[in-house]
Amino acid sequence: MKGFILSFRSEFYKSRKTAGFWSAVILPLLLCLLIFAGFYSRSDKMVMEPGMMLWVQFSGAILGVMGSLLLPMLIVFIGYSVNSIEHKADTWKTLFSLPISKFAVYSAKYFYAMFLVFLCLALFVLFTVGFGNLLGTVKPGLKFHDYNMSGVLSQLYFKLFLSSLGILSIQFLLRVLFRDFLKPMGIGFVATITGVILVANQWTYDYLFPYSHPMLALSALPQHHNHAAGSNPISVDIFTREIYISLIIAAVVFVAGYFIVLKKSVK
Amino acid sequence: MVISTDGLTFDFGNQTVVKSLSLQVPEGSIYGFLGPNGAGKTTTIKLLLNLLQTQQGSIQIFGKELKSNRLEILAQIGSLIEQPAIYLHLSGKENLLNRALLLQISEARVNEVLKIVHLTDAAHKKAGQYSLGMKQRLGIALALLSDPKLLILDEPTNGLDPNGIIEVRELLMKLVSEHKKTVFISSHLLAEIERMATHVGIINHGELLFQGSIHDLEAMSKPAVQIETDNTVDAANYLTRNNYTVTEITDTHIFVPYTTKQQMGNINKLLNDMGYNVYSIIKQHKDLEKLFLDITQNA
């Protein structure tokens, strides 16, 4: 356990000056800021909307962009960035000759990639709630203060996080296997588009395809929302079948990846 | 023995890269592990660090089986394998601090090793901007960081200029003499390590061709008397008839094992008396470089 914590801290130390780390921070900030600006400029048209609808529109705008395309791409990038540090410096063999168990080194790296995705999504919640309330303050006509969506948003983004773990583990492994950027990136991109198409066409088994999971995780929302349009608050059912599939894929690839890393990293 | 392997064999697919290697590295030695490129040196080092799994044979380090005492043994080894593993986006000092974090070592020690390898002034420069020699020195600093008992260095002077090579050599000799370390250093150049090595192992095609102290190696290169005459074949026959052992005859020279100065005088007189013109007669040392080539090529 100590080896894991030390390795995890070292991952942070190594990556804090790389684009991979900062993309997880800048992306939510930038996206929320853009949507904030959009709402700010059109605020006069939304004065009549009830607070809950405002929140749904505001967070929905952010989630819409994020969920289907940006999140998978961000994961591709994070998976790339965390491993490319070692590929570039040719440091896998050094890491594995330290007096730290090989599994601790590998799992720290994996969980660090996971942590970056978590951080990114947590910041989305924070910035969505923050900017929403800011809108309500700078434009008192908008009734953002009438409704609190932070609970639902947290659940939703947590679900998004769980749904992304399958992709993350696959991209992580791809990046370990391929030294170059293009192959994992290309595979990730094609798979993401495929995922979007599968969900859009409502293919029966789309829940088995990990790259469809973020979109599926979100697509469950409108039904709940319509159902609860009246007085009931929006409810999020976190553990749907695609989430289970995502978790299973993540676990299997994580274990398989360890043995592949041992074989591939040292020649 | 700090390192002791027994019948170590390693195959990549159907190619045997290391063949029943039995290394014996005594404590406090600088063990030069020599061999041409592709002889199996790096593979052996990776086996010693448990980066590759032992297929056949056994490895004992500090008297303990490597496989079952991996972490305990690795904690006392500093290593540099192939090119130094450096994060180019971090500064030299940050590279060391990162390793220090992993090994739970204080920042004071980081500054200390920076000083040892003369990188204090460049500590805050990005490692990506380092010269090859500086990177190599940073690699050595990383290996030294945990103050290990055993240093395993794979071609540490690769890409260094003569000054750099001398610096590394002096540093390693100091570590062994003053700090009681053991150094296992691989190289494809004998000249580079013959001045510091106390022990030598020569490997080619995965086989250990020679192992022993540097004096054993030197003893193998016995001096010879090199004679230049007008008729080498007849002169050689005449010397043989007079109970001299002729080891080699070329178009221009005869070689006879050297014993004493008097022997050289006798040979000279003998040949002159028989009417052979002796153009030159000198005592010649077979240098270690030639010996090294002989050993690796005759295998």
B96-129, pLDDT tens digit by residue?
A: 999 999 999 999 999 999 998 889 999 999 999 9
Best of B46, B47, B68, B102 to mutate (most A CBs within 10 Å, chain A): B102
Distance between A262 CA and the closest CA of chain B, angstroms: 9
Chain A touched by B72 (CB under 8 Å): yes
Query: What whole-number distance in Å separates Cα of residue A92 and Cα of residue B143?
Result: 15
Chain A touched by B89 (CB under 8 Å): yes
Domain residues for A251?
2-265
Residues of chain B in contact with residue A89, where contact means CB-CB under 8 angstroms, are 85-88
- Residues contacting A201, CB < 8 A, separation 6+: none
Q: Is the dihedral angle over the CA atoms B52, B57, B61, B67 positive or is it negative?
A: positive
Lowest mean pLDDT among A50-54, B24-28, B93-97, B100-104: A50-54
Query: What whole-number distance in Å separates Cα of residue B19 and Cα of residue B275?
Result: 54
CATH of B222-297, one of 3.30.70.120, 1.20.120.790, 3.40.50.10420, 3.30.200.20: 3.30.70.120
User: For residue B102, what is the nearest residue in chain A, using CA coordinates?
Assistant: A6
* pLDDT of the residue at A225: 46
Residues of chain A in contact with residue B147, where contact means CB-CB under 8 angstroms, are none
Chain B touched by A9 (CB under 8 Å): yes
Whether residue B295 is predicted with pLDDT greater than 80 in this model: the reply is no
Query: What whole-number distance in Å separates Cα of residue B231 and Cα of residue B278?
Result: 9
Q: Is A160 exposed, middle or buried (0-12, 13-18, 19+ CB in 10 A)?
A: buried
Residues of chain A in contact with residue B94, where contact means CB-CB under 8 angstroms, are 13
Whether residue B291 is predicted with pLDDT greater than 80 in this model: the reply is no
Confidence of residue A67 (pLDDT cuts 50, 70, 90): confident
* pLDDT of the residue at A234: 67
Q: Any idea where the domains of chain B sit in the sequence? A: 3-219, 222-297
Task: Report the share of chain B in percent with pLDDT over 90.
Answer: 37
Mean pLDDT of chain B, nearest integer? 88
Distance between A17 CA and the closest CA of chain B, angstroms: 8
- Residue B183 has phi, psi (to 5 degrees) of -120, 125
Tokens encoding B61:
């380090």
Q: How many CB pairs under 8 A join A and B?
A: 61
Cα three-residue angle A15-A256-A196, rounded to 5 degrees: 75
- Residue A106 has phi, psi (to 5 degrees) of -65, -50
* pLDDT of the residue at B103: 92
Given the DSSP bridges, would you call strands B150-154 and B77-80 parallel, antiparallel or unpaired? parallel
Confidence of residue A140 (pLDDT cuts 50, 70, 90): confident
The CATH homologous superfamily to which domain B3-219 belongs is P-loop containing nucleotide triphosphate hydrolases (3.40.50.300)
Query: What whole-number distance in Å separates Cα of residue B117 and Cα of residue B97?
Result: 15
Helix axes A51-65 and A19-41, enclosed angle (nearest 10): 140
* pLDDT of the residue at B287: 66
Chain B touched by A17 (CB under 8 Å): yes
Q: Do A93 and B85 touch (CB under 8 A)?
A: yes
Q: Do A93 and B52 touch (CB under 8 A)?
A: no
Tokens encoding A229:
């349009």
Task: Report the share of chain B in percent with pLDDT over 70.
Answer: 98
Whether residue A82 is predicted with pLDDT greater than 80 in this model: the reply is yes
Q: Is B238 exposed, middle or buried (0-12, 13-18, 19+ CB in 10 A)?
A: middle
Give me the mean pLDDT over the A164-191 stretch: 86
Q: Do B51 and A93 touch (CB under 8 A)?
A: yes
Residues of chain B in contact with residue A97, where contact means CB-CB under 8 angstroms, are 49-51, 74, 77, 79, 81
Whether residue A116 is predicted with pLDDT greater than 50 in this model: the reply is yes
Tally of domains within chain A = 1
Cα three-residue angle B179-B185-B187, rounded to 5 degrees: 150
DSSP A120-161: HHHHHHHHHHHHHHHHHHHSTTS-GGG---HHHHHHHHHHHH
Chain B touched by A12 (CB under 8 Å): no
pLDDT in tens, A192-201: 888 888 888 8
Query: What whole-number distance in Å separates Cα of residue A61 and Cα of residue A57?
Result: 6
* pLDDT of the residue at A229: 43
